[in-house]
A and B are shown apart, each in its own frame.
Chain A
């Protein structure tokens, strides 16, 4: 029963991955659409970033002094200047840990 649902979910997920790659050919997309598609990363990833920071595990908004806000800001600054993925993630995590384990403890 659950396995059937997993298989259906898997087929659906695969279709989302495959459909556009298989169906779209060069002449189908005009220059205007291509120009808009340039924005896909900027238009998609904040929908993962913002809820990951501002909404907690229970689906409600965090407080304004939540350590995650600070951690995210540090990650943005370090990422902007270092251009380094590992530095960005670790800076965000370490500053977050510093707040929850040292300051707020």
Chain B
């Protein structure tokens, strides 16, 4: 049985490699916001209030492009609706927590944290304080995101644009799913999702980001039926 502190540390360690892509991306996010002409306090407020990388950039780009704030808010909601799926997966492991603890822990559920904690949860179901791993991944992500976006806001884009560091984001997610390429059913689901995302890329409100997972999960359900 691991202690709370050990689980928290394990979570921190498990997510820290992803900071290689998260920190440059955060700096870019902060710098873009200021470049688009938004007040630095507003740009930072997003990191605290929304706390969701890509959705923050989309939000500012839409507003600066003259879109209605309703459209910007709706787009953020749709881009982030993928968290509903993460929550559904995590709910099994967080069930024993009190209502208040569930409310608090929800704030730090992010893509990479979900991915790494979910991997850990699957292997260590019997641990009593499993949620401390999720707190570890989430808090590490939160602190790094705040520092990174703040530095982007204060120092401007000191990461040279020519380096194309936004490309580190797809790479970080490749690192998350690459081991599942060993399983044919997962490969089919991934390709379905990937191709759908390209096909529906121009769908309104960036909804490709939730349309394609839903299609991919339908395919997964079909595959499960075929397996039997």
Contacts and interface: CB of A to CB of B under 8 A. Distances in A.
Is chain A's interface secondary structure helix, strand, loop, or mixed overall?
helix
Given A18-B106, A46-B193, A90 B20 contact: yes
A102 interface: no
B44 to A, nearest CB: 10
Q: Residue among A44, A49, A85 with the most chain B CB within 10 A?
A: A44
Contact of A21 (B42, B94, B186, B189): B94
Given A2-B69, A22-B99, A39 B217 contact: yes
A36 B90 CA distance: 14
B178 A79 contact: yes
Contact of B73 (A8, A48, A68): A8
A49 to B, nearest CB: 5
B77 A12 contact: yes
Contact of A42 (B17, B82, B180): B180
Interface string A71-94: 110011001100111101110110
Is chain B's interface secondary structure helix, strand, loop, or mixed overall?
helix
Interface residues of A, number: 69
B190 to A, nearest CB: 5
A42 B216 contact: yes
Contacts of A12: 73, 76-77, 80
Interface of B: 17-18, 20-21, 38-39, 42, 45-46, 49-52, 54-55, 59, 63, 69, 72-73, 76-77, 80-92, 94-95, 99, 102-103, 105-107, 109, 111, 115, 118, 162-181, 185-186, 189-198, 201-202, 208-209, 212-213, 216-217, 220-221, 224
11 contacts: A10-B49, A17-B106, A20-B85, A29-B88, A43-B193, A46-B177, A50-B194, A52-B167, A61-B198, A79-B174, A84-B17
Q: Which 8 A-B pairs have the closest CB atoms?
A: A20-B87, A52-B170, A10-B49, A43-B216, A85-B17, A18-B106, A46-B194, A50-B194
